[in-house]
Amino acid sequence: MPARTRDRRAEAERLREQIRHHDYLYYVRDRPAISDEAYDRLLVRLQKLETAHPELVTPDSPTQRVAGRASGAFVTVRHAAPMISLESTRERDEVARWDDRMRKALGPTLRYLLEPKLDGASMELVYERGRLARGVTRGNGDEGEAVTANVRTLASVPLALRTTVRSAPRLLSVRGEIMMGLRGFERLNKQLVQRDEEPFANPRNAAAGSLRQLDPRVTAERPLRFIAYEILAVEGAEFTDDEEVLAALRDWGLGTTDHTEEGRTLADIERYHAAMNARRDALGYEIDGVVIKVADLGARERLGATGHHPRWALAYKFPPRVEITRVEDITVQVGRTGVLTPVALLRPVEVGGVTVSRATLHNASEVKRRDIRVGDTVRVYRAGDVIPEIVERLPQRRGRRHAPFRMPARCPACGTRVQTEGPMTLCPNRFGCPAQLKRSLQHFASEGALDVQGIGEETANALVDHGLVREPADLFALTVDDFGSLEGFAEKSARKLVDEIAAARSLPLHRFLYALGIPGIGVTVARDLADRFGTMDALRSATRAALAETPRLGATRAADVYAFFHNARTKRVVDRLLAAGVEITREGRRRGPLSGKRVVFTGGLGTFTRPEAKKLVESLGGRTSENVGPNTDFVVVGESPGEKLDEARKYGIREMSEREFLGLLRQAGIKK
């Protein structure tokens, strides 16, 4: 083998090992050692090497996580061992009786492993000779759907088991949960709503729905994580208790929960249950109880199972976040892109410590299917900050029910006759409908678009209601006196907002595209379009076929983009924005001291506004974020900083004063 070929192969393997190592640190140890940007550089280098030399590609290479296009229906596969469900209870007395049975059967040496009951999508991963062979949904417990291509896209799922600590067994079947964190869930739902797509009701449904996407690339974009908790079957390894199992799973590169404890008494169980119930909102993902397991695997074998449940484990559920209330009315909201959504107005009820007075009914088909009517008694569920959901309608005890709900024939905001597209009802009067204009104006000024912080829901509503804004271009003609005529604006705050709008007039193409609110186009795809076409003129004149070649766009969304730019009303809106002085800057980023850095601002800045500061960071190759995390490089601290500073200190992130930040800007040739 030529020396050059050996060198390339060695470099590719070294890069693969580095990437796997950092995946392990991030997903198993929760101790990332490098920034996202440094990780991306390793991955990009490996991709370039393998693209130039395809013979170097291996099936378990990190570059092979997302491969291929949309597939057909999923095939059914039998599990390596049955995935039976747990017996569950919410009653302390039943837990006490179960504990008593375990003590009588196993004696004084009884030990429990206590762990959170994860509320996600149950999944089996099968490894053969250390390599991922298949991922299978729980299904009916005996067999499920093979979603292997989708599971391979998850960075928390190793394509090959780590063997630095212990060797890989011939066969390993692992059970765990695919989880979607609450923050990721909220971001996903926000993106879906912005694209006028149906949001998910809860993280569990979002995780399950994301796994069953026919296109693995869609799954890859979803914030999913696999957490392992049990070995279903193994050949080539032996264990005596559950702590050994969890240690082995971590050694092999599979993430497990950090919140397991040993227990020996009923009091230990009660204490753990109460502690986890108190912490559940702070975990960042959904749990609905705790699981009590006999720790000794030999004892488990002796106890066996019924036809439905293992005798050696019990799920001790938390009190439900469900309450009963009455549907007082059903109203219709008009979204930013014209989608009409029915909303149930409820008699206020406290669910999980929060007063709930409304719940989405999604669309006309869903209302009809569930037959929800005004006056019905319903059960309402809420978890974390999730959208309240009507779980079920309770039977009517007496009296006649109201007439079935029907969507209006005309838009409730502007009177335009509505249109039906599949399950959706739409108002076609895009920028002419005041309800759509209010939401469009709010989106136009949002982070990732113009980033004008002073225009939230209340201000956007007031600008439209007072006739000051009839389309987005009017925003740039507003004066201090215009804002002064609105409630809550003094001259100083009005001046600040006018200056902020003026500063936002110049922006990169991808942010302008996102600001326009093109149906189905989020920040990522807007950047893809900007990267592919470069200028607004090139994009507006692009054919459907040319648009469809854009990464992550696809034929359907390409048709939406084409229709948007060839609609007479939206063409006029774009033309007026450009005539109002909106300047689309070049996409390229300057190199400098912020290149590849992730920056968070907290507290008030004296030299510039927050949007100006963010644009300066972007112009120098950096990224800004609203949240502090382990991958944040530094936090710029202004006056009266908030909780972000506490978070930064928890992670040991570098703090930078506004004066130091100005020094960095001067170093890059920017004077302020």
Q: Which long-range contacts (CB under 8 A, 24 or more apart) does 425-428 make?
A: 425/339, 425/340, 425/363, 425/364, 426/337, 426/338, 426/339, 426/340, 427/334, 427/338, 427/340, 428/338
Q: Which of 117, 293, 614, 615 is catalytic?
A: 117
Measure the CA–CA gap between 257 and 227, rounded to whole angstroms: 7
* 300 touches 315 (CB < 8 A): no
Torsions phi, psi of 282, nearest 5?
-95, -5
> How far is C-alpha 424 from the chain's CA centre?
23
* 341 touches 335 (CB < 8 A): yes
Across 458-481, b (16+ Cβ under 10 Å) vs e yields ebbbbbbeeebbebbbbbbebebe
**Cβ neighbours of residue 100 closer than 8 Å, sequence gap 6 or more:** none
Retrieve residue 659's tokens. 């004066």
Among the listed residues 355, 353, 352, 344, the one whose alpha carbon sits nearest the alpha carbon of residue 389 = 344
DSSP string, 383-394: -TTPPPEEEEEP
Active site residue 615: no
Retrieve residue 370's tokens. 């569930």
Strand arrangement of the beta sheet that strand 121-128 belongs to = 131-137, 121-128, 171-180, 224-235
**Torsion angle of the four alpha carbons 387, 393, 397, 401, in this order, in degrees rounded to the nearest 10:** 90
Partnered with residue 598 across adjacent β-strands are 623
Residues assigned a catalytic role: 117
